[in-house]
Amino acid sequence: MSDIIQLLPDHVANQIAAGEVVQRPASVVKELLENAIDAGASNITLLLKDAGKTLIQVIDNGKGMSTTDARLCFERHATSKIKDAKDLFNLQTKGFRGEALASIAAIAHVELKTKQENQDVGTLIKIEGSEIVCQEVVSTAKGTSIAVKNLFYNIPARRNFLKSDTVETRHIIDEFQRVALVHPNISFSLHHNNNEVYHLRASNSRKRIVAMFGNKMNEKLVPIEEQTDIITIKGFIAKPEYAKRKRGEQFFFVNNRFIKSTYLNHAVNNAFEGLLEHGTHPTYFIYFEVPPNTIDINIHPTKTEVKFDNEKALYAIIRATVKHSLGQYNVAPVLDFERDATLDTPYDFKDKKEVSTPHIIVDPSFNPFKNDIPSTPTPSKTTSISSGSNSNSYKKSYAQTDYKKDAGTWEALYSSENIQVESTPPATHQEELFKSEQETETGKTFQIQKKYILSSIKSGVVLIHQSLAHQRILYEEFLENITVKEASSQQLLFPINVSLAKSDIEMIYGIKSDLESTGFVFNEFTKEGVVIGGIPTSITESQIILVLEQLLDDMKLEVPDASFSHFDIMAKSFAKSLAIKTGTVLSAKEQENMVNNLFSCKEPSVSPLGKATFKTLTLQEIDTLFSK
């Protein structure tokens, strides 16, 4: 029998490796930015075209490469970071595996220009599908410029799996933010289709966060800091009142590397316990420093998941640090048993130097015993003193000094025999006393636990989830208004300036025409946000920020690239934002309208996100419940 095991050709092996390293354009951006940082660059520029599908170019002013290194860097497992196996457990750099450039070159057209400071000329190398097609001397600036063109050109199936430009751009911006946030000492700029998205000057961590997420972020941040034998913690958390419905702005960095950790995230959430509204999540930017030999960062191809040696201790330290900062900066209530609250000086008096003595007025003719027998009090409307009680004995109970003697007379006034209720409540009122406060009867419908609507039908009963049902109703209304009818807009008397992060402004600008078709009117796009002059008639001014934030979060999700997708996701997003929530009390008319409108929908049985809106229970099924 002939041998069947064989070695794969290098170009095939590189494509397989590329499947681990390069999932999308954002993966390429991450690898190239990290290489530029490892090269000691102080200024890094990222250029994109068509969300990285046509071009991803990173230009840095780092130390550059020699001609030999420029050629070797495209070989598999070629790295300057590791000399032997021990180095794997003491890593201080980022791109250490030596597969990135080889994998990228296997699935794209790559052009590399590089020059070291002591060289007169640099090196130009062009590669197509792992094959070097050109190598020559070139005049170039110190550092490295690497351009990746036509990503996945030789793997069309992989290219077809890429999402819309909006989604892919969002992933790239995520990677850019993760790298830029942890290196505030480096200047970064990002240009997409010749438009500048970010221009970040070298600064400190706080200024970098503010430059990236808008000036309003500055007032939200609370610093945290702690140093122990096993970990050093620095960074910022946002005040509880600025918590968000989504987990977007949550960043952990370990040894200058972005990581994801549900365990450590739980520690932060635990520190905010009792301070956040239900369903909201805190914003944080937390930087850890731990000994490199206490973590394993090579357990996942993307290196975003790490394993700590002492996770439980880190959990406790992080939780205590965040909690301490919340109390230290008066964000959370603290108990101080040493402080005497009666000695606190009101703010209005803290700067006053002279305190005037109050003037006391005494009335020498005042006699508190002048009228020692009070008049008989007038009975209230709902109670009356019975005829059996004597007014003289009532006065006597006040006048006598021997209270013990007349205690029985005084107590008799409040006995049940001497109190008369004005009128007996009607039978309907008595029935309401026995009705659960969580259930509201409205003829044909009941509202249960302020969450469900129970309605009677011919075959039995139907139980409707009020929030999901309202989502379905609004979704179909919005979709019809966007795609069929001409959207109507209400002009605002005073335009509203909505502050957004730069990446969100870019995303809103990308779908500007689609939003305008729903009724939005944008007066201006600024560096800090957008100025809105008109909104759809179906929303109110107070809902603008809520609707836009929900839409941005939904747009960041994985949605296929189709001409209908933007309209569909807008309708879903608007419906989710504006639908009534669990806990809303509905009147009889509102419940009836909800039922009628739901069953007038084209797809009444499911919400826009595919969840069931109602369940039916037939009379036979009800009878079965009681037949056992």
Are residues 594 and 461 located together in one domain of the fold?
yes
What type of residue is 389?
S
260: tokens are 């994801």
d(CA 176, CA 29): 8
How much is the mean pLDDT over the chain?
78
Are residues 196 and 210 located together in one domain of the fold?
no
CB 52 within 8 A of CB 176: no
d(CA 159, CA 8): 23
**Tokens 């494509």 — which residue?**
15
d(CA 454, CA 614): 10
pLDDT at 41 over 60: yes
Question: pLDDT of 582-607, one tens digit each?
Answer: 888 989 889 988 998 998 898 899 99
What is the pLDDT, as a whole number, of residue 472?
92
Are residues 181 and 223 located together in one domain of the fold?
no
CB 257 within 8 A of CB 303: yes
Q: Which H or E run includes 46?
A: strand 43-49
Are residues 212 and 113 located together in one domain of the fold?
no
Q: 398: how many CB neighbours lie within 10 A of its CB? A: 13
What is the pLDDT, as a whole number, of residue 351?
53
Are residues 144 and 220 located together in one domain of the fold?
no
Are residues 537 and 412 located together in one domain of the fold?
no
Are residues 189 and 227 located together in one domain of the fold?
no
3-state SS of the chain: helix, strand, coil percent to 5?
Answer: 35, 20, 40
Q: 565: how many CB neighbours lie within 10 A of its CB? A: 17
Identify which of 297, 304, 209 has the alpha carbon closest to the alpha carbon of residue 249. 209
Question: pLDDT of 433-491, one tens digit each?
Answer: 334 444 444 457 888 988 999 988 888 889 999 999 999 998 888 888 766 666 678 88
Residue 360 lies inside a defined structural domain of this protein: no
Residue 298 lies inside a defined structural domain of this protein: yes
Are residues 192 and 212 located together in one domain of the fold?
no
438: tokens are 């969580």
What is the pLDDT, as a whole number, of residue 432?
46
Judged by average pLDDT, the poorest of 356-360, 444-448, 561-565 is 561-565
d(CA 4, CA 275): 64
> End of a domain among 152, 172, 200?
200
Distances from the Cα of 362 to the Cα of 223, 369, 372, 473, angstroms: 56, 17, 21, 72
588: tokens are 């009889």
Residue 261 lies inside a defined structural domain of this protein: yes
pLDDT band for position 283 (cuts 50, 70, 90): very high
d(CA 64, CA 123): 10
What type of residue is 67?
T
3-state secondary structure at position 159? helix
CA angle, 504 then 171 then 263, to 5°: 100
Residue 362 lies inside a defined structural domain of this protein: no
Residue 87 lies inside a defined structural domain of this protein: yes
CATH number for 514? 3.30.1370.100
Cα of first residue to Cα of last residue in the chain, in angstroms, is 69
> End of a domain among 302, 328, 354?
328
pLDDT at 88 over 70: no
Are residues 117 and 169 located together in one domain of the fold?
yes
CATH number for 321? 3.30.230.10
Question: pLDDT of 482-506, one tens digit each?
Answer: 666 666 788 888 898 888 888 788 8
Residue 382 lies inside a defined structural domain of this protein: no
Q: Strands 460-465 and 614-618, how do they pair? A: antiparallel
Q: Strands 109-115 and 143-149, how do they pair? A: antiparallel
Are residues 17 and 159 located together in one domain of the fold?
yes
pLDDT at 260 over 60: yes
Residue 58 lies inside a defined structural domain of this protein: yes
Distances from the Cα of 508 to the Cα of 174, 513, 532, 534, 545, angstroms: 16, 9, 12, 15, 13
Range of the domain at 545: 447-615
CB 545 within 8 A of CB 582: no
What is the pLDDT, as a whole number, of residue 427?
46
> Between helices 165-182 and 205-213, what is the axis angle to 10°?
160
- The sign of the CA dihedral 366, 369, 373, 378 is positive
Number of domains the chain contains: 4
Question: pLDDT of 397-440, one tens digit each?
Answer: 434 444 444 444 444 444 444 444 444 444 444 444 334 444 44
Cβ neighbours of residue 250 closer than 8 Å, sequence gap 6 or more: 265, 268, 281, 282, 283, 284
Residue 43 lies inside a defined structural domain of this protein: yes
Question: pLDDT of 264-279, one tens digit each?
Answer: 999 999 999 888 887 7
Question: pLDDT of 285-312, one tens digit each?
Answer: 999 999 888 887 665 555 567 778 888 8
3-state secondary structure at position 510? helix
Q: Where are the beta strands (DSSP E) in 445-528?
A: 445-448, 452-457, 460-465, 489-499, 521-525
CB 104 within 8 A of CB 31: yes
Half-sphere exposure of residue 163: CA atoms within 13 angstroms, side-chain side: 19
Are residues 179 and 218 located together in one domain of the fold?
no
* 76-85, 112-121, 450-459, 564-573: range with highest mean pLDDT: 112-121
Are residues 242 and 143 located together in one domain of the fold?
no
> End of a domain among 176, 200, 224?
200
CB 58 within 8 A of CB 46: yes
Spell 129-165 as b/e; 16+ CB within 10 A means b: bbeeeeeeeeebebbbbbbbbebbebbeebeeebbbb
CATH number for 151? 3.30.565.10
168: tokens are 């892919």
CA angle, 525 then 530 then 533, to 5°: 100
